[in-house]
Amino acid sequence: MSVMDTNAIVRRDRRVVVFGIAAVTTLAWVYLALMTIKMGQDMRVGMKAAAQPRLASWTVIDFVLMFIMWAVMMVAMMLPSASPMVAMFAKVNRMRRTSVEAVDGDPMVPTWVFMSGYIVMWSGFSLLATILQWALQNAGLLSPMMASTSTFFGGLILIAAGAYQWSVWKQSCLNHCQTPLGFLMTRWQDGRDGAFRMGLSHGAYCVGCCWMLMALLFVGGVMNLAWVAALAALVLTEKLMPPGLWLSRITGSGLIVWGSTMIVGTYY
């Protein structure tokens, strides 16, 4: 196969990957919008218990629905920021197929295998977030829109998220997310199992980079779509920036000041 043919195939694969990510992300946002509208309707007719079930009233179905909500939200927020890594995987995968002879068969695997590992990791985070929401609602710390009802508690989350933006763990995880080619070159594994493990690994770094930013959902409201979109835009901007921490540290400082102001305001 000629170089021109290979480049054409790589470009086609990139378009397919970008379209697929855009389609899945759009569906996720539509789902969140419909859920937000439904919750608003429930609240207007006085069904706050349906929008904010307390611990004792949560059934298995309630828990599963909340978990699905979190999982879909993570797809909507995080998949766009993972698109450079997914596109790079598809490119490297295709080029290896055309230039490397596999020992145990064709090394080419579907891109969705890599993506599934990434999604599984964020689904694990979604499970933990659902359990945390369950506990916070039972303690009366969340409103029907799943935002903090305590100014002091909200301030603590902001300060913690801001401090994490300055941490070495944030720096390490963000660096891996900002350098897709470097990540793949140092961690490449052949076959479907290898692709899935790479997806898990990238997902772990992504969770490590963004988990405290996701905790901010409990400040502005888990079902506040404007707040969700703002956080998603921040995550995407961080990932697309050249390697470096200046944006993270600016936002971290802002979050610390914001949270401190909220806490001080509770005493004056």
Q: How many CB atoms lie within 10 A of CB 166?
A: 14
| Residue 119, pLDDT score | 95
- Who has greater pLDDT, 91 or 198? 198
pLDDT band at 98 (very low <50, low <70, confident <90, very high): low
Given CA atoms 199, 201, 205, 207 in this order, what sign does their dihedral have? positive
The amino acid sitting at 205 is: Y
Query: Tell me, what's the pLDDT at 208?
Result: 96
Work out the average pLDDT over 75-103. 81
Assess whether pLDDT exceeds 70 at residue 242.
yes
Say what the pLDDT of residue 29 is: 92
Identify the bridge partners of residue 142 per DSSP, sorted by sequence position. 148
Q: What is the pLDDT of residue 207?
A: 97
Strand partners, 148: 142
pLDDT digits (tens, 9 = 90+) for 131-188: 999 999 888 898 877 889 999 999 999 999 999 999 999 999 999 999 999 999 998 9
Distance of CA 17 to the CA centre of its chain: 18
Task: Specify the pTM.
Answer: 0.85
Q: Scan for tokens 């450079």, then name that residue.
A: 84
Q: For 7-24, what is the mean pLDDT?
A: 74
Domain extents in the chain: 3-265
- Whole-angstrom distance, CA of residue 142 vs CA of residue 224: 13
Percent of the chain with pLDDT over 90: 54
What pLDDT sits at residue 47? 44
